[in-house]
A and B are shown apart, each in its own frame.
Chain A
């Protein structure tokens, strides 16, 4: 391990929707950060802005190969994968939309089942 403070699996890192970075606690109270773009570029060193300490992130670069080349709009594209960590207040609106979508889609199969019976 040597120069690294630690080697950390990506599963132990939290996702910051606003800054667009994965982060992990640094013992100084600040945090080690790395962006999806860095991960897509096979960079694996997350740094702490307040410290000399660094960590190596253990992850599969294939999981990030679809990352768009520029950061533009990356936050919205990522939200799907990190759903469980989200606390967005729009969840009700999302559900409503989901329901609408399902309603139109599910109608024909229901009718088909009824006809078959």
Chain B
């Protein structure tokens, strides 16, 4: 059955030193510009693309995982490839999205494996490949700083590797990697966290590696883990719904809506972030934490660094005082919008909202804006949420907002017409 493929546009703004915005240049863009996909009509995604399953941003590289109409997925990437984060075929720089297919990935694809999940740390990329009735495969490629590849320190970088879980045990029992399902993979700049489930007895576990010395992987026993390590947080009774990683902290939202936070609290990023209830979504900037509560008001709580207005609540923040409080959305009619979704960049935040009583969608954002990453055609920081999209004036074909993402001084909008 042929699925009806929608007309999708991906737009990006912000920091672009290595072509990570995929707009054909390596100059910063202070307004949203269309991303280019190699060999495709300008401004369009590859033919037959149903949706973007995931978009992951590293220091200066970007990965997109596309779902095609025939059920297959395709991984495309752009930006900096010098550490092997785009695979061994592209060790320079790509200023437009290009299909990424390393020989290792191809070997699995030829057996029928599909790339289902992706993540990007600073200069390292992660792919999770799945095939029914076969064990999930986690591939890492790129820089191995602080053990980011998860395969020990002796691995030659720039060669993609399969991450092994064979050495892990839970309560003395081997976890049988063949029966391990990777539910999600999330990467911060310097650490990675996987939510896995055992097929045999349906146990849920968090596994991580990378920099650990601030407790971002659950304890401070070592500087870093260069192989997968079980995070000592019993998640089986209340499995992980979403998880978000800052530069030195980790926040988990459980299926019950409860939260758990660990790691560095130097900027107050963990302040009262443990044990909230009725939370729908968690997000971390590098030094801040955001919780979207599942209440009637759709409150978005923020805590952590506010040096560039990242907390989005100008009036309530005293200098040098750590507080948790709601982000202040001020609409022209004074009525609170309905918050649908938010995305945290390194030091800025993007949200999708519906104005009060409306079904329209708008994108509002705030925070650090030195690279024009809010797409407002200026580079001043924005301390309170401001409407970003639809930009109005000359954007007759803006379309319906399908998704937003935020990266390291970059913002991304997927719109559907």
CB-CB under 8 A from B59, the residues of chain A are: 25, 29-31
A53 to B371, CA, bound (A): 12
CB-CB under 8 A from A53, the residues of chain B are: 370
CB-CB under 8 A from A12, the residues of chain B are: 211, 213, 248
Q: Is the interface of B mostly helix, strand, loop or mixed?
A: loop
Complex: chain B residue closest to A83, CB-CB: B153
A91 to B287, CA, bound (A): 37
B368 contacts the other chain (CB 8 A): yes
Please state if B15 and A29 are interface contacts (CB–CB under 8 Å). yes
B289 contacts the other chain (CB 8 A): no
Please state if B287 and A25 are interface contacts (CB–CB under 8 Å). no
Please state if B17 and A27 are interface contacts (CB–CB under 8 Å). no
- Out of A14, A29, A84, A85, which one reaches B408, CB within 8 Å? A29
Which residues from 74 to 89 on chain A have a C-beta closer than 8 Å to any C-beta of chain B? Answer: 84-87, 89
Please state if B153 and A87 are interface contacts (CB–CB under 8 Å). yes
A87 to B286, CA, bound (A): 27
Please state if A28 and B157 are interface contacts (CB–CB under 8 Å). no
CB-CB under 8 A from A87, the residues of chain B are: 144, 153-157
Which residues from 1 to 41 on chain A have a C-beta closer than 8 Å to any C-beta of chain B? Answer: 1, 5-6, 11-12, 14, 25, 27-31
Complex: chain B residue closest to A3, CB-CB: B307
Which residues from 203 to 253 on chain B have a C-beta closer than 8 Å to any C-beta of chain A? Answer: 211, 213, 223, 247-248
A51 to B211, CA, bound (A): 25
Minimum Cβ distance to chain B for residue A35 (Å): 18
Please state if A51 and B153 are interface contacts (CB–CB under 8 Å). no
Binary A-proximity of B390-417 (CB < 8 A = 1, otherwise 0): 0000000000000000011110000000
CB-CB under 8 A from A25, the residues of chain B are: 59, 122, 189-190, 247, 286, 408
Binding site for A on B (CB under 8 A): 15, 17-18, 20, 58-60, 122, 144-146, 153-157, 189-190, 211, 213, 223, 247-248, 286-287, 307, 345-347, 368, 370-371, 407-410
Binding site for B on A (CB under 8 A): 1, 5-6, 11-12, 14, 25, 27-31, 50-53, 84-87, 89, 91
